[in-house]
Amino acid sequence: MEKQERMEYLVELLNKYSYHYYTLDDPLIDDKEYDVLYDELVNLEKELGKILPDSPTNRIGGEILSGFEKHNHLNTLYSLGKAQSKEEVRSWVNKNEEFVRNYNKTHEEKLPELEFCVELKFDGLTINLTYDNGYLSMATTRGNGVIGEVITNQIKTIQSIPLKIEDKRLIEIQGEGLMPLSSLEKYNQTHEVKLKNARNAAAGAIRNLDPAVTKSRNLDAYFYNVNYLEDSELENQAQMIKFLKENHFKVHSYEKTAKSYEEIEKLIDEIFVLRNQIDILTDGVVIKINDFRTREILGYTNKFPRWAIAYKFEPERFTTVVKEVEWNVGRSGKVTPTAILEPVEIGNVTVKRATLNNIDDIERKQVKINSEVFVRRSNDVIPEIMGVVDPNQENTKEIEIPHNCPYCHSELFRNGVHIFCPNSMSCVPQLVKRMVHFASRNAMNIDGLSEKTLELLLDKLNIKSIEEIYDVTKDKLMSLEGFKEKKSQNLINAISKSKDVDLANFIFALGIPEIGEKTSFELAQKYKSFDKFRNAKLEDLIEIEDIGEIMAKEIVEFFNDETISQSIDSLLSKGINIKNPQEIDKKLDGKTFVLTGSLINYSRKELTDILSNLGAKVSSSVSKKTDYVVYGEKAGSKLDKAKELGIELLTEEELNKFLKDL
Ligand code: AMP
Ligand code: ZN
């Protein structure tokens, strides 16, 4: 009995020492003392012929496995939505702010003011731990989010992970297994085969059938989520972090909150620099809404929580030099700085230009001419300058902020962090860009009216406003360089054809600030006629889901502007025939649709609404009565069944075309 008690005592004592050493980084005793106690425990366990479940001797890993078992997670482990640029973070924040505002207008029980938690995005392997009755009962990988692989023995070799915790409930927690850079370095000093990358080294170690390999890599783990907690009392992220800490899980000390996009942006930049100074790999920043009730109401898409977003950094950092700064005028007159760079290769693309966003950005990041800067590029977005390598760099020159429009020389004005050219009437680049938008596919859809052609029309035919596009004649076109008979006729035909336009496309074509394609569609559905929309009241607009105060104000101001109003009248006088949604409403009457798989551009609800508005029925199961099956990625049995029954199948792209052609 005495020996049993001594064994229990030693387990508890050694676990306490480990916790202080590995999790708190604050050792209580030196390694030698620890080893003596550890050896004593090993001998006692041999003598008594038993090992307690939370004994540190369990951390050696055990036998080589023949394969990984599967495990169903108690709750889906979601991936994260990604922001490719800060603008996307900003619009995510805006969207959530509008959501909360709208929600609070219509609900008694208000949501709290939004607060965001900003943390590191750990770059390792996601691990999921189950604790039952206080003991670590299972560890798994994320797998596909629903089913993971069992890696309990591998995970037990990670010293900072508690084998036993205070709370006795059924718990699943999520974190990231990582190989600290210092572990990687040490490992490489003593091993023939060198590990190149800490992320792959960690993932390879955890998903290794031999736990001894896992152990040899000295991994660590940080936790950021309670994925399941029986009778949970947790109301927000802050409480959740506290819960994790109280149960001795390792939580990273970088855990900050922000109340606005501007505050978030500062933290992103802070982490961008910090990530070079810490012992673990981070590949970005994760931003989460603090309040759990808000999270619940926002919910999830097929793959992601709507209440969190990841802003990812490029794996490698690229630096180059700013040679000069060019100022460009956009569609709305906004004048934005673009840095002209010493060309640099990033992911097989030569980057020569990068956006500097606005004046505020230039000042905050302390970018100057000749500055050596970090550049970030990700798919489909304009490269961005993230910061300067050395704010005290010599031989740099301040970037001059223009006072006059680089094109029309009008005096610029400042609004918030942006500067604008007020000359919306005759500032050529503004006009060209507005016309490009006007002619684009989802607006008036004028085939052949490219930016180059428009520049030509403005220059040679002296066109000064959008509506004058409809006055262009074939003869005039044929006087232009490169325009022969056929090409001219085609363009004239396209211009003429565009006069028949759906209300939604017409609304989009107007280029009202903040109003995109989807919103245009919703507005058309709601107002059903251009006149009604044009005269909509602010109070009325705000009532529409997805339209917040900002958008509503933009719409009202847009139509209140005398010049805009006149030019719309003049445009309408060219014989524009706007087709109201009623006319196409019943186009899908009596048709039954089934949606399956994950769609990219719509949520299920959005698409259901669109189809229902067209008179279609959206059903959840495929039968002989089904007319169309719209399928996205990972479509399962419904797709198979539809194929079997010979039902017409549509991809998302085909559906878009189908709807357009109605
Ligand atoms: P990705 O693997 O790039 O799709 O990013 C999503 C993954 O990031 C999640 O499944 C998590 O495993 C991981 N991750 C790393 N750090 C965090 C964090 N602080 N919060 C949430 N997820 C994180
Ligand atoms: Zn101008």
pLDDT in tens, 263-285: 999 999 889 878 878 999 998 99
Taking 90 as the threshold, does the pLDDT of residue 242 lie above it? yes
CATH number assigned to the domain covering 2-59: 1.10.287.610
pTM score: 0.57
CATH number of this structure's domain 592-661: 3.40.50.10190
Note the pLDDT tens digit of each residue in 13-27. 999 999 999 999 889
Q: Where are the domains of the chain?
A: 2-59, 94-312, 317-415, 428-498, 502-579, 592-661
The ligand 1 site (C-beta within 6 Å) comprises 79-80, 119-122, 126, 142, 176, 224, 286, 310
pLDDT tier at 379, thresholds 50, 70, 90: low
Give exposure, 478-507, as e/b (b: 16+ Cβ within 10 Å): eebeebeeeebeebbebbeebeebbbbbbb
- Superfamily of segment(s) 428-498: 5' to 3' exonuclease, C-terminal subdomain (1.10.150.20)
Lowest mean pLDDT among 87-96, 232-241, 450-459, 610-619: 610-619
Q: What share of the chain is helix, strand, coil (3-state, %, to 5)?
A: 40, 20, 35
User: Residues within 5 Å of ion ligand 2 by Cβ?
Assistant: 405, 407-408, 410, 421, 423, 427
Identify the architecture of domain 502-579 in CATH: Orthogonal Bundle (1.10)
Task: Measure 178 CA to ligand 1 centroid, in angstroms.
Answer: 12
pLDDT digits (tens, 9 = 90+) for 177-234: 999 999 999 998 998 888 878 888 898 899 888 998 899 999 999 999 999 999 999 9
332 CA from centroid of ligand 2 (Å): 10
Whether the per-residue pLDDT at 547 is higher than 90: the answer is no
Selecting among 86, 121, 365, 368, the annotated active-site residue is 121
Q: Is the pLDDT of residue 415 over 90?
A: no
Mean pLDDT in residue range 461-490: 92
Instruction: Kindly give the distance from the C-alpha atom of residue 363 to the centroid of ligand 2, in angstroms, as a whole number.
Output: 23
When the pLDDT of each residue in the chain is averaged and rounded to a whole number, the result is 90
Residue 491: phi, psi to the nearest 5?
-65, -45
Long-range contacts formed by 615-618: CB under 8 A, 24+ apart: 615/585, 615/586, 615/587, 615/588, 615/589, 615/590, 615/591, 616/588, 616/589, 616/591, 616/592, 617/590, 617/591, 617/592, 617/593, 618/592, 618/593, 618/594
Q: Cα–Cα distance between 479 and 475 in angstroms, integer?
A: 7
Q: Which carries the bigger pLDDT value, residue 605 or residue 70?
A: 70
Query: Three-state SS across 470-529?
Result: HHCCHHHHHCCCCCCHHHHHHHHHHHHHCCEEEHHHHHHHCCCCCCCHHHHHHHHHHHCC
DSSP state for residue 615 in the 8-state scheme: T
Q: Which mutation among 82, 116, 119, 121 tests ligand 1's pocket best, with the greatest number of atoms within 8 A of CB? A: 121
Determine whether 121 is an active site residue: yes
For residue 589, pLDDT beyond 90: no
- Decide if 428-498 and 592-661 have a common fold: no
Pick the ligand that lies closest to the CA of residue 331.
2
Write the secondary structure of 26-80 as one string of H (helix), E (strand) and C (coil).
Answer: CCCCCHHHHHHHHHHHHHHHHHHCCCCCCCHHHHHCCCCCCCCCEEECCCCCCCC
Residue of 75, 126, 127 best suited for mutating to test ligand 1, as the one with most atoms within 8 Å of CB: 126
User: Would you place residue 347 in the very low, low, confident or very high pLDDT band (cuts 50, 70, 90)?
Assistant: low
Between the CA of 249 and the centroid of ligand 2 the distance, in Å, is: 58
Q: 3.30.470.30, 3.30.1490.100, 2.90.10.10, 3.90.1720.10: which CATH number matches 94-312?
A: 3.30.470.30
CATH numeric code, 317-415:
2.40.50.140
For the segment 558-575, what is each residue's pLDDT rounded down to a tens digit? 999 888 888 899 999 999
